[in-house]
Amino acid sequence: VEKIKIGLLGLGNVGSGVWNILNQNEDEIVNFLGKKLEVKKILVRNPEKVREINIPENILTTDIRQIIEDPEIDIVVEVMGGIHPAVECLKASLQNKKHVVTANKAAIATYGQELHQLALEQGVQLRYEASVCGGIPIINTLKNGLAANKIEEIVGIVNGTTNFILTQMSNQGMEFEEALKLAQDKGYAEADPSSDIYGEDAAFKLSILTSIAFNKNILPTEIPREGVTKISKKDIEYAFQLGYKIKLLATVARHKDFLECHVQPTLIPKTHPLAAVNDEFNALFVKGNAVGELMLYGKGAGSLATGSAVMGDILSIGKNIEIKAQTVTTKKKEDITLIGEGSGQYYVRFQVKDHPGVLGKIATLLGEYNVSLESVVQTGRNEERVPLIFITHEIERSLLNKALEEIVKYDEVIEIASIMKIKNL
Amino acid sequence: VEKIKIGLLGLGNVGSGVWNILNQNEDEIVNFLGKKLEVKKILVRNPEKVREINIPENILTTDIRQIIEDPEIDIVVEVMGGIHPAVECLKASLQNKKHVVTANKAAIATYGQELHQLALEQGVQLRYEASVCGGIPIINTLKNGLAANKIEEIVGIVNGTTNFILTQMSNQGMEFEEALKLAQDKGYAEADPSSDIYGEDAAFKLSILTSIAFNKNILPTEIPREGVTKISKKDIEYAFQLGYKIKLLATVARHKDFLECHVQPTLIPKTHPLAAVNDEFNALFVKGNAVGELMLYGKGAGSLATGSAVMGDILSIGKNIEIKAQTVTTKKKEDITLIGEGSGQYYVRFQVKDHPGVLGKIATLLGEYNVSLESVVQTGRNEERVPLIFITHEIERSLLNKALEEIVKYDEVIEIASIMKIKNL
């Protein structure tokens, strides 16, 4: 049987997954390709390191040239993670006319345009299904299955760590810190969880999705984002009473003359399928002008789930290896202005001193700014601090912010504890 | 711009959808392909018929030879539906070396093997994403994204009509007949709804999924199936009290030495994502040995949703039109025996006369057949007919059936109103 040879860059969590799938599912792979796949070389930092998987020592190398300069290697698979030196390795591989598969969201989100251009020039394929939500085939679906659609909106739960935390807060009544601790104990959150909990990881993925679905390159740093650290158990309870669940959503939506794009905690109806996405699972809800509503749900991380997506890309390239065609979609650039948030319905929770008239005072000022209200909830009488929750009608966020700047000056107002968008999906 | 020319067979619901998407999303299509798509000829029964869409009269024809013998036509798109004469048209198209896209579940489920063989011989592509669950990209995902997985199980809500009916029964407290009527009024069910409500439509789709995921050709008629006509509002209420929702599931699962494959109403946990699939929506839950759990959710029918999937196939072929390669996956045949149902946990509802001792009598007999019970519910005292619900532990269905054959002979037992599997997904 003919062989397709792979150079693997990195042998961590995802790299081991790829190795394991290659061995465990050899039959499926040969049946699909009609050829064998062989990992010829693996780039690692330390070849001496003791590993859980059994790898022949002679295929480990610390020198990337052993991979990119080897004419027998057809496909380079980058699973090192991080931006540097991953981007340099990706470029060097493409420059050496290797097809490239990567799972690296940070590199693709930040250098995607440049890497695509390079692949195009070199006539090789660049694939990165695993870079967004691990095992969920969202990129292939957007690029191929939905190719004839004008995409109107993508709303996703794209970060498993924060979804696990919110699920624990919601189902077990934990506070944020406790749920984060549990996520760390279970290996869903890293020792330094900042990239997850402040929304950076979600912004990487949203940047990639936006470039594919809207042909708009937005750097992850340009995406307005808010994490989950300010959400309290109380917010989750109040939201639930009002018929909502709180999820950290990555959103990109086409409006008449602008593109809405942001990462933020959002109240969604309890009955919506996204509300049933729990624990460490991810889901992407897509609206296309032909297909209507589509949702993809699965594991967004993990050695084998992410490895599955990497393998899918390797096999797609392997199937067309003779054809040095590029698969880059060159959509016409659309002239759309990016904006963060625009308008919406909002949930605002104040902590106030329990003085008579405070509710009326706040409501009156909101009215002066044309912020009209759908409902108001006041609970817990006769305490030092009482929560006061306002649900607004549709309104510009900027206008709401102006009103809130005034309200926060009132003596009776201790703090604005939460502002969250409500999305009546 | 270069053109790819299409011959369309049929101009009903799906055909109109394809035509509309082609016109409405022309920009997206040209951006993807770098070429234009043109429908050169459309096969219809009656060219004089008044249609909602505006089609140039000179492209309509009643003679398929005008399409399959036209050397300018690259792709034939079959959206006539039904088995005959669709299968003959599909064969003739392949024999004339046309790439073929079809949305025809009945034809693919019944003649898929023969059609694949023909496509292979002629060196053309045969694609049928739209044949299973309309806009949901399940076939492409199974064939490509999950190519490196050993698929363990597919559980799907694959029929929108029955899911709409069950949703109405569950949320609005309707009985079956009333919900069916509403489905017909809304256009979700046909005047003759038998193919939907007795599970034939689901069996077509399950047959196709089984051939792709398990490389096992099972005729739709070989798949044991049960429809939704025997489910009563009461069953839905009892199931809900026990923590379950009732869904019509198409299931195929790999066991150690056999393949489980059937269509039947099933109790699934309320909290499972499949339980949140309501109204006319479809969803497919897939377990792969690498990717883990994956679910795809969307519209399983409708002019534009199904048209979106047809267009995806057309564009995939269009992108590789120069390459007359076949994309048929030739998986190694697995030696697996098909069985219908095997074992499971069951929900059984009896209607009995309210005589003392009847519960004990039934429970005793079940015990004699080694049917052990998880719980028993008896409600509605002092009525002529009372329901008696048994939830069994895991047990062989054949054994349960034997016990039920005895029980139904008791004078106190009016009928066995429902037997449904419980799947603790």
B160 CB within 8 Å of a chain A CB: no
Q: Using CA atoms, how far apart are residues B359 and B378, in angstroms rounded to an integer?
A: 8
Residue range A393-412: mean pLDDT, rounded: 93
Residue A357: per-residue pLDDT: 87
Tokens 């027998």 appear where? A72
Residue B327: per-residue pLDDT: 47
- For residue A336, which residues of chain B lie inside 8 Å, CB to CB? none
Residue B328: per-residue pLDDT: 45
Chain B residue with Cα closest to A333: B31
A124 CB within 8 Å of a chain B CB: no
Verify whether the Cβ–Cβ distance B305 to A291 is below 8 Å: yes
Verify whether the Cβ–Cβ distance A312 to B144 is below 8 Å: yes
Q: Using CA atoms, how far apart are residues A223 and A216, in angstroms rounded to an integer?
A: 12
Residue range A134-139: mean pLDDT, rounded: 97
Residue A273 DSSP symbol: G
Structure tokens at A350: 């104040």
- Radius of gyration of chain B from its Cα atoms, rounded to whole angstroms: 24
Which is nearest to A70 in space by CA: A83, A59, A56, A80?
Answer: A59
Residue range B312-332: mean pLDDT, rounded: 71
pLDDT interval class at B326 (50, 70, 90): very low
Residue B321: per-residue pLDDT: 80
Residue B121: per-residue pLDDT: 94
CB pairs under 8 A between A and B: 205
Distance of CA A190 to the CA centre of its chain: 16
Three-state SS at A41: strand
B258 vs A283, higher pLDDT = A283
Weakest mean pLDDT among A368-382, B58-72, B225-239: A368-382
Q: Using CA atoms, how far apart are residues B385 and B415, in angstroms rounded to an integer?
A: 10
- Radius of gyration of chain A from its Cα atoms, rounded to whole angstroms: 24
Angle at A322 between CA A320 and CA A325, to 5 degrees: 70
In this complex, the residue of A147, A278, A297 whose CB is nearest that of residue B315 is A147
Residue range A270-281: mean pLDDT, rounded: 94
**Could you tell me which residues are beta bridge partners of residue B143?**
none
Which is nearest to B346 in space by CA: B232, B424, B231?
Answer: B424
In this complex, the residue of A135, A295, A327 whose CB is nearest that of residue B291 is A135
- For residue B147, which residues of chain A lie inside 8 Å, CB to CB? 28-29, 32, 311-312, 315-316
Residue A326: per-residue pLDDT: 46
Q: Which of residues 140-159 of B touch A (CB under 8 A)?
A: 140-141, 144-150
In this complex, the residue of A28, A215, A323 whose CB is nearest that of residue B149 is A28
Q: Using CA atoms, how far apart are residues B197 and B177, in angstroms rounded to an integer?
A: 11
What's the mean pLDDT when you consider all of chain A?
93
Residue from A141, A274, A291, A304 whose CB has the most chain B CBs within 10 Å, to mutate: A291
Q: Using CA atoms, how far apart are residues B104 and B82, in angstroms rounded to an integer?
A: 7
A298 CB within 8 Å of a chain B CB: yes
pLDDT in tens, A287-341: 999 999 999 999 999 999 999 999 999 999 998 886 654 444 555 555 566 666 7
pLDDT in tens, B391-411: 999 999 889 999 999 999 999
Q: Using CA atoms, how far apart are residues B52 and B71, in angstroms rounded to an integer?
A: 30
- For residue B279, which residues of chain A lie inside 8 Å, CB to CB? none
CB A174 within 8 A of CB A182: yes
Q: Using CA atoms, how far apart are residues B349 and B390, in angstroms rounded to an integer?
A: 7
Residue range A415-419: mean pLDDT, rounded: 92
**pLDDT over 60 at A268, yes or no:** yes
Which is nearest to B121 in space by CA: B77, B149, B91?
Answer: B91
- For residue A280, which residues of chain B lie inside 8 Å, CB to CB? none
Which is nearest to A402 in space by CA: A360, A357, A368, A353?
Answer: A368
**pLDDT over 70 at B135, yes or no:** yes
Which is nearest to A195 in space by CA: A151, A236, A231, A225?
Answer: A225
CB B249 within 8 A of CB B275: no
**Could you tell me which residues are beta bridge partners of residue B359?**
none
For chain A, the residue count is 425
Three-state SS at B168: helix
pLDDT in tens, B309-321: 999 999 999 988 8
Structure tokens at A360: 């009326």
CA end-to-end span of chain B, whole Å?
51
**pLDDT over 70 at B139, yes or no:** yes
pLDDT in tens, A360-391: 999 999 999 999 999 888 876 667 888 999 99
CB A64 within 8 A of CB A44: no
Q: Which of residues 24-43 of B touch A (CB under 8 A)?
A: 24-25, 27-29, 31-32, 34
Verify whether the Cβ–Cβ distance A34 to B273 is below 8 Å: no
Q: Using CA atoms, how far apart are residues B133 and B139, in angstroms rounded to an integer?
A: 10
Q: Using CA atoms, how far apart are residues B75 and B9, in angstroms rounded to an integer?
A: 11
Residue B162: per-residue pLDDT: 98
- For residue A14, which residues of chain B lie inside 8 Å, CB to CB? none
Q: Using CA atoms, how far apart are residues A260 and A214, in angstroms rounded to an integer?
A: 11
Structure tokens at B71: 């050397």
Three-state SS at A39: strand
pLDDT in tens, B275-311: 999 999 999 999 999 999 999 999 999 999 999 999 9
Q: What percent of chain A has pLDDT over 90?
A: 84
B332 CB within 8 Å of a chain A CB: yes
